[in-house]
Amino acid sequence: MSDVAARAGASLKSVSRVINGEPHVSADLEARVRRAIAELGYRPDRRARDLASRPYTGRLVGYVQVDAANPWFAAVHRGLEDATRERGVVVVSGSTDADPARETALIETFIEFRVDGIVVAAAEGSDDLLRREIEHGTPVVCVDRQLIDVNCDVVVCDNRAGTRAAVTHLCAIGHRRIAFLGGNRAVWTAAERLDGYREALQDAGLTPEPALEIFDVDQIEHAAEATRQLLGSARPPTAIFAAQDRITMGAVAALHALGRQHDVALFGFDEIPFSEQLDPTVSVVAQHPYEMGCHAGRLLLERLSDQSKESSRTVVDAPLRHRESGHIRPVR
């Protein structure tokens, strides 16, 4: 606030009155203060303001996730908590629903509360904001997301290799028309899985077909409809790779509704509920979100202890879980 006051040519009290929206502030003074705030990138420190009425102990970490109702993000959250609890860290979280504007607002709110660090899980859209905060000294760890040319710690699973292994397996048992159901290609994880799919086809001497690739599938119902669309086409696929847990769930629902679950192979990315109780059981590329959350927590603690350390990139394996759906051979 002192910096803002100096830039605006105003008293500290005047700056405080503008920030707190108090009456009897001239338009000229408010304009000067607002301009100085924008130029300096100043944000009110809500946590410091609340210290008089609310004692604070330990460190506060903001966890940005796409959807708190999704078990994957919940598992990351639990791993983050377990890795940091003994150091007195409190984790506060919010969901973005994959909305870049909502993600930006959530991160800005965490910054206003002066969190000691931020963990961002599989969201997109606020790279510039995160870069700026890292430059200002805020520790940031990205989970299943990468920032280019930024000193940021990253924890990812091997999206590309896991997908490539699953599709290579489908090719090896005879499939030549393998469909890909994926999410938003602008999201790093989705792009990595698409690249893995295409690489596996090319390794098998096959050419990726645009008609077999469907993107922007973000809900179970959309995945079910996309599966019905593919299987109803003139040249339907004999196998499907579903690049996300909800997409896999939609594909399973459509296959069962059509009575095709035993003649169309299916491989999904991420575990889904009751995958081993379904008929057929569902093959998946398995992530380890709890382990990824633990890694993120440990990296954040290290960064809080030493801001100057080089950024690190932790890659967690994504092994195949071979079950019945992934071993269905094409019908001749």
Rounded CA-CA distance 223/213 in Å is 12
pLDDT at site 53:
41
Q: Which residue spans within 77-131 are E strands per DSSP?
A: 89-95, 117-121
- Which CATH topology does 51-157+291-316 take? Rossmann fold (3.40.50)
Q: 121 has which bridge partners?
A: 143
**The pLDDT value given to residue 54:** 41
Tell me the C-alpha distance between 278 and 256, whole Å. 10
From first to last of its 332 residues, the chain has per-residue pLDDT tens of 889 999 899 888 888 888 878 877 898 999 999 999 988 888 766 545 544 444 334 589 999 999 999 889 999 999 999 999 988 899 999 999 988 889 999 999 998 888 999 999 976 767 888 888 888 888 999 999 887 777 789 999 999 999 999 999 999 999 999 999 999 888 889 999 999 999 999 999 999 999 999 999 988 999 999 999 999 999 999 999 999 999 999 999 999 999 999 999 999 999 998 999 999 999 999 999 999 999 999 999 998 888 778 889 999 999 999 999 999 999 86
Distance separating alpha carbons of residues 127 and 150, to the nearest angstrom: 10
- Closest alpha carbon to 325 in 233, 256, 257, 223: 256
Among left, alpha and beta (phi > 0; psi -120 to 50; other), residue 188 is: alpha
* Cα distance between residue 287 and residue 158, in whole Å: 9
Owner of token pair 């989970």 = 143
Write the secondary structure of 21-82 as one string of H (helix), E (strand) and C (coil).
CCCCCCHHHHHHHHHHHHHHCCCCCHHHHHCCCCCCCCEEEEEEECCCCCHHHHHHHHHHHH
Q: Which residues pair with 65 in a beta bridge?
A: 95
Whole-angstrom distance, CA of residue 96 vs CA of residue 74: 14
Identical topology for domains 2-42 and 159-287+320-327: no
Cβ neighbours for 11, distance < 8 A, ≥ 6 positions apart: 5
Q: What is the pLDDT of residue 291?
A: 96
CATH of domain 159-287+320-327: 3.40.50.2300
At residue 19, the pLDDT reads 83
The helix/strand/coil state of 175 is coil
- Can you give the pLDDT at residue 305? 85
Q: Give CATH for domain 2-42.
A: 1.10.260.40
pTM: 0.78
Q: Of 220, 151, 170, 161, whose CA–CA distance to 189 is shortest?
A: 161
User: Which residues partner with 285 through β-bridges?
Assistant: 269, 320
Give the integer Cα–Cα distance in Å for 20 and 45.
12
pLDDT, position 310: 84
pLDDT at 43: 74
Where along the chain do its domains lie? Answer: 2-42, 51-157+291-316, 159-287+320-327
How far is Cα 64 from Cα 57, in angstroms, rounded to an integer? 22
The sign of the dihedral angle between the CA atoms of 18, 23, 29, 32 is: positive
Starting from the edge strand earliest in sequence, which strands make up the sheet with 89-95, in order?
Answer: 89-95, 59-65, 117-121, 140-143, 153-157, 313-316
Residues 42, 3: Cα–Cα separation, whole Å: 9
pLDDT at position 46, please?
53
Chain centroid to CA 67: how far? Answer: 9
